[in-house]
Amino acid sequence: DSGVTQTPKHLITATGQRVTLRCSPRSGDLSVYWYQQSLDQGLQFLIQYYNGEERAKGNILERFSAQQFPDLHSELNLSSLELGDSALYFCASSFGTPQETQYFGPGTRLLVL
């Protein structure tokens, strides 16, 4: 157990819908990272937040957005869902910079039908 929690574990929804994925970092960690992992694919970096502020952006679609709240938990919002958005979404946390060990949560498996 890494100490990073994610909810829900599984999510099934329809095209065009909107979902929210939630992540709580390890106690003391200030940075939260979101990654997308499609079937048999690598880890695609989406976005990073540090202490409530956006720090780095990867290949995140405009239909996706995220935020980090004062208690440091983070939410990833996916809207106008398409079939291709079906994937595992991981959250990771570290104390500060990406140069520190990133601890991954168990992931949320999203299936868009």
Partner 1 sequence: GENVEQHPSTLSVQEGDSAVIKCTYSDSASNYFPWYKQELGKRPQLIIDIRSNVGEKKDQRIAVTLNKTAKHFSLHITETQPEDSAVYFCAARFRNTGFQKLVFGTGTRLLVSP
Which residues would be at the binding site for partner 1 (CB under 8 A)? 2, 33, 35, 41-45, 48, 55-58, 90, 97-99, 101-107
Least distance from partner 1 to the Cβ atom of residue 69, Å = 20
Q: Which is nearer to partner 1, 19 or 49 (CB)?
A: 49
Least distance from partner 1 to the Cβ atom of residue 102, Å = 7
Q: Which is nearer to partner 1, 7 or 17 (CB)?
A: 7
Strand ranges (E), the chain: 5-7, 10-13, 19-24, 31-37, 44-50, 53-57, 64-68, 74-78, 87-94, 103-104, 108-112
Instruction: Check whether the bond before 70 is cis (ω within 30° of 0).
Output: no
Task: Write out the two tokens for 61.
Answer: 């679609």
Q: Which is nearer to partner 1, 45 or 95 (CB)?
A: 45
Q: List Cβ neighbours of 53 (8 Å cut-off, separation of 6 or more).
A: 68
Q: Which is nearer to partner 1, 30 or 79 (CB)?
A: 30
